[in-house]
Structure 1
Amino acid sequence: MALQILTLVAVSGLVAATSVSHVSFSFGNNAPITYEVRPDSSHASPYPPPKPKHRKPTPPPKYAKPSTTTTAPKYESPTPRTYPTTAPPSHSAYTPPELTYPPTTATPAPTYPPTTTPAQTTTPEQTYAPTTTTTTTTKAPVYHLQPAYLPRPSYHLRPSYHPRPAPSYHPAPSYSLPKVPSCVELTNATWCLEDEEYPEYEIKHAIQYHLDNFNLLYADVADLDAEKSVDVPDAVEEETYLCPSETSYIRPLRAQNTDGIWRIVINDIKVHYKTFTQTTRIEECLTAGEECPKVPMCYESKCLQKSAYHRFLVYDPYDLYFPFAIETFKLPASCACLLGGYTIDH
């Protein structure tokens, strides 16, 4: 390849020096190379240069198409292998060689020289000179006389304790409230709005001890507090009411239940920044048993006191397990006019 390039360069220089305008080179691989030189106008030929001849490209080589049907290769069947039928050689049993040991020579017993006992030497007996003993008399120690102690004090005899007598317990008190409290001794009412013997401290202590169960009971009666829902007439002249009455809202401290037993009602008790109250509405007839006003004399009439049942949360000081309960009380509720038969006098 390098030689071809050098030849091309040399010929190109030669052509440039002459008046040749067109030169073709051809190497061994049949690939033509055209080189065109344009000399000066003074040496230009009057004829146009010939057109270069282009050779047709060589077609690609044609290969034979592989056949679609292929025959399976044929393999030679293996020849069966034959093994010798001779029995294996028999081996004789292994017999270890006998071991030979060198003869043992008896060693002679050692000889010891005879033992010589040394001659006994007698030592002369020692003679002791008589010893002279000197006795020295020592004076007996002089002990001081023991001090004269005072006689032991004569202790008094232990007192004879008398056996303690068995305690005489008083009979158990009858846990029952008084039949009629002192606050209603001078009246015939079945409730009490003021009570000097009201056990406020005991009630507070019991509420704090049984606070959870007490709140459950109080929630049952808290919604029963009455509110003013009826306007009360101020005078009897109003014709709306046949019998005069007096309406009020009370918070009783003691009241008589439907069994005739006086109970302590929980009212105005302040525990844990909360005041527990029970309010109810009552209406008392002012002329109970008398004739109804504004009713003609031909009619038999009478003012009648009507009552209603109320539920209050009460305190029982003698119930040590749980001193609170809800009981029923009968209180005046309204005043009605009862009319009798019609009579005509001639």
Structure 2
Amino acid sequence: MAMRLLVSLVIVALASADVGSHVSISHGGAKHAVTYSAHRPHHAPPSYHHPAPAYQPRQSYHKPAPAYHHQPAPAYKPTPAPYKASVEPPACSVNTTKAWCLEDNEYPTYELKAAIEYHYTKFRNLYADVADLNTELSVERPTTLEEETYLCPSDTAYVRPLRAINTEGKWRVIINNIEAHYETLTQTTRIEECLTSGEACPLVPACYETKCLQKSIYHRFVVYDAYDQYFPFAVETFQLPASCACLVGAYTIDH
């Protein structure tokens, strides 16, 4: 009977005990430790923590550097000069009365080099037609009466004009002192200018009607024409002083 009572008490105790409680029961003189462990179903509170997203590597926005390929130099394309450049006298003609310029601060050296290199084969044939002219004439003339002398004083020189007026009255750029294709291109000519043009010839008797006269000769030069986009070179004719002569007029003897 006592045993049943003890079991009943244990059942009641278990029913009223919380989860995880421990019950000790003593029976008689001996103490029997009986531990009952009961677990209620545990419901975890809802979690509001979202799991971390899976790692994704950051996309790189670095653009690859463009590849640079060597581009060939653009083909030479002559640019027409302003129209007034071929009509108005050049700046080098302002302080001179001559029809040519031996110095020119506006000489188109760079454009000439580029055009000659681009058209070299055709240009060389044109240039050889006039550049090989032999102008090695005597400049050291006699100066004493024992030998022979000129009747009119003059100034003689070899020149390389950079610009000059052609036979049509237009100023042209002449190819001179241009370094292109491993050579220096020049066009040299001999000129002789009268120092007393229009005056009586010295050393001639006054009974003669005389006058110092400037004589000219025609020269051909290779010129640069910026307006011609196909081949900007041509051979043109120029009239330059060549000698100084003494002109003797009519003479009659009166008895």
TM-score where L is the length of structure 1: 0.47
The residue number in structure 1 matching 2:36 is none
State percent identity of aligned pairs: 67
| Alignment correspondent of 1:322 | 231
1:273 Cα deviation after fit: 1.5
1:82-120 CA-to-partner distances (Å, cap 9, x unmatched) read xxxxxxxxxxxxxxxxxxxxxxxxxxxxxxxxxxxxxxx
The structure carrying a bigger helix percent of its residues is: 2
Q: 2:113 maps to which residue?
A: 204
* Aligned residue in 1 for 2:97: 188
Instruction: Tell me how many residue pairs correspond in the alignment.
Output: 176
Partners of 2:212 and 2:184 lie apart in 1 by 39
Matched, 1:244 2:153: yes
For the pair shown, the structure with the greater C-alpha radius of gyration is 1
Matching residue's letter, 2:179: K
The aligned residue for residue 241 of structure 2 is 332
- Say which of 164, 167, 172 aligns to 1:258: 167
* Aligned match of 2:205: 296
Distance 1:313 1:233, change over 3 A: same
Is the contact between residue 165 and residue 238 of structure 2 (CA under 8 Å) also seen in structure 1? yes
Structure number with the bigger relative contact order (C-alpha 8 A, sep ≥ 6) is: 2
Report deviation, 1:262.
Answer: 0.4
Residue 269 (structure 1) aligned with residue 170 (structure 2): no
**Is the alpha carbon distance of 1:173 and 1:207 closer, same or farther for their aligned partners in structure 2, counting shifts above 3 Å?**
closer
User: Which of 181, 188, 193 is 1:284 aligned to?
Assistant: 193
Rounded to whole Å, the distance in 2 between the matches of 1:329 and 1:269 is: 20
Task: Determine if contact 2:152/2:202 at 8 Å carries over to the other structure.
Answer: yes
For 1:215, the equivalent position in structure 2 comes to 124
Structure 1 distance, partners of 2:145, 2:218, is: 27
Amino acid at match of 1:290: E
Quote the Cα distance in structure 1 between the aligned partners of 2:91 and 2:145. Answer: 34
CA apart distance, 1:230: 4.1
Amino acid in the other structure paired with 2:191? I
Q: Which residues in structure 2 correspond to 1:1-346 (within 5 Å)?
A: 174=83, 176-233=85-142, 239-342=148-251
Give CA deviations for 1:287-336 in whole Å, capped at 9, x if unaligned: 10000001111110000000000000000112111100000000000010
Q: Which runs of 5+ in 1 are unaligned?
A: 1-171
In structure 2, runs of 5+ residues without a counterpart are 1-80
SS in 2 for 1:219: helix
**Contact 1:176/1:318, CA 8 A, preserved across alignment:** no
Once the two structures are superposed, what CA deviation does each residue of 1:47-75 show, in whole Å capped at 9, x if it has no partner? xxxxxxxxxxxxxxxxxxxxxxxxxxxxx
Question: How big is the shift at 1:342?
Answer: 2.1
| C-alpha contact 1:247 1:281 (8 A) present in aligned 2 | yes
Give per-residue Cα distances to partners, 1:156-183, cap 9 Å, x unaligned: xxxxxxxxxxxxxxxx964751421111
Please give the alpha-carbon distance, in whole angstroms, between the structure 1 residues aligned to 2:102 and 2:146.
30
Give distance in 1, aligned partners of 2:196 and 2:84: 40
Q: 1: distance between equivalents of 2:82 and 2:222?
A: 25
What SS is found at the alignment partner of 1:214?
Answer: helix
* 8 Å contact from structure 1 (residues 257, 328) kept in 2: yes
CA distance 1:207–1:235, change in 2 (3 Å): farther
Runs (4+) of structure 1 moved beyond 3 Å? Answer: 172-176, 233-239, 343-346
Aligned CA distance change for structure 1 residues 173 and 257 (closer, same or farther; 3 Å): closer
The two structures, once aligned, show a CA RMSD in angstroms of 2.4
Partner SS, residue 203 of structure 1: helix
Pairwise CA distance, 1:184: 1.4
Distance 1:327 1:294 in 2: 39
Helix, strand or coil at the partner of 2:214? strand
